Structure 1
């Protein structure tokens, strides 16, 4: 059956920042497709609640992705005690909203450290195992802010734009070993934090809704379904793609 190509049965995925929002939506979708999922984050109580919701195919590890010295042990722990990491979803990230002139060096560097440098460190470590096995799927969670200009998010935008360069280069180095590297660029996705923020700024809300070609915001599972596809055999000849999941916002005028 053709649908078997979309199955992730027997696969193990690592999803950073998997306890809430888009990360949780991705984790649910991967599990629904048959994978076991390890979620990471800094807050153990959040991870514990997420695992309860996700069920017995989910595991968690408390980890601060910016602590690069802890990354090798994190990956070794998962590889040894849970199983080989077939899928890596680099979802963890932080945001900073300010005009460029009001963004300090500290804030800029903090965003780059979390959203880019830590992503590279974890990807490199997981790839050590994937390349040896000659199999793997690596997904970066980028953003439409990495595809077109949005005001007041200069550091975030730069960090997400840089992921495109990271994807492109890793494709040239990893493809011969059958390790695929892609990115998903979410649009405006529903979450409590997002909805609360835009409901307090009617002008910004109107600006956002005007930009989206479709008539509604996305949901975390929309990103999760894209991650399932890119991680499955159905996408076995797809690498180096930056996939917008944004209701047409990237191309809409």
Structure 2
């Protein structure tokens, strides 16, 4: 039974895999038997993650804002490491600001990183997956894409947009055995999360009261869910939003 959850022989590309949730996903996929590739902007962070992860881990330094160079990046990765079987679009940026104080430039930056870059990377990887008639694409959503929250209008919009993107890609890629799903982490212990609540005790209290289970989630909770959706155990699952949130989306 456990073999259907194995990722042995698979190669997973994880953006922002050097820290936080991305690192947790990389660790879980490595433990499931996958070859792991992490990409990010800071080589020192990637090198440290590679050392901590150990095993069959590769890294590439790249800024996803440079969308025109993404096709060349994917060609370079596949030439150096091998075909990409799993893409995890984890990299993203956050903005905690009231809507009335958010400039057009700030809003555009969030959309560029969290939506347009994700689409560009998914398109480049999907082109090869479609040819091979096999592949998995995962988006990383957010609680802000499930319900309204103050001070995250740009970020929440970007994460909500991923749901629409996923649904439309499912209609085009399913016939080629390329599955597209979205993981929706709740409040997971990570540098981004702690930064967001560090100077806002009222927001932290509100979050704690919202979560049905005890405490915050951990990166490996998201990693384990990513392994499941990437494995043969989920071979007939596509187009779903999977909250990893301790019940926050349904708790009152």
Structure 2 length as normaliser, TM-score? 0.98
Partner of 2:120: 121
* DSSP-derived class of the 2:58 partner: strand
Kindly provide the CA deviation profile for residues 103-130 of structure 1, in whole angstroms up to 9, marking residues without a partner as x: 0000000000000000000000000100
Partner of 1:171: 170
Kindly provide the CA deviation profile for residues 158-202 of structure 1, in whole angstroms up to 9, marking residues without a partner as x: 000000000000000000000000000100001245335534322
> Any stretches of 5+ residues in structure 2 without a counterpart?
none
* DSSP-derived class of the 2:243 partner: strand
Partner of 2:200: 201
Deviation of 1:203 after TM superposition, in Å, equals 1.2
Instruction: Flag the 1:190–1:167 CA change in 2: closer, same or farther, 3 A.
Output: same
* DSSP-derived class of the 1:171 partner: helix
> Any stretches of 5+ residues in structure 1 without a counterpart?
none
Kindly provide the CA deviation profile for residues 182-229 of structure 1, in whole angstroms up to 9, marking residues without a partner as x: 000100001245335534322111111011011110000000000000
- State the distance in 1 between where 2:104 and 2:191 align: 29
User: What RMSD in Å do the two structures reach over aligned CA positions?
Assistant: 0.9
Partner of 1:223: 222
Instruction: Flag the 1:30–1:194 CA change in 2: closer, same or farther, 3 A.
Output: same
Deviation of 1:144 after TM superposition, in Å, equals 1.1
Partner of 1:132: 131
Partner of 1:108: 107
Q: Which moved more, 1:198-207 or 1:128-137?
A: 198-207
Deviating 4+ runs (over 3 angstroms) = none
Partner of 1:158: 157
* DSSP-derived class of the 2:24 partner: helix
* DSSP-derived class of the 1:161 partner: helix
Number of equivalences: 252
1:18-33 superposed matches below 5 A: 18-33=17-32
- State the distance in 2 between where 1:194 and 1:95 align: 9
* DSSP-derived class of the 1:5 partner: helix
* DSSP-derived class of the 1:244 partner: strand
Partner of 1:4: 3
* DSSP-derived class of the 2:37 partner: strand
Structure 1 length as normaliser, TM-score? 0.98
Deviation of 1:38 after TM superposition, in Å, equals 0.5
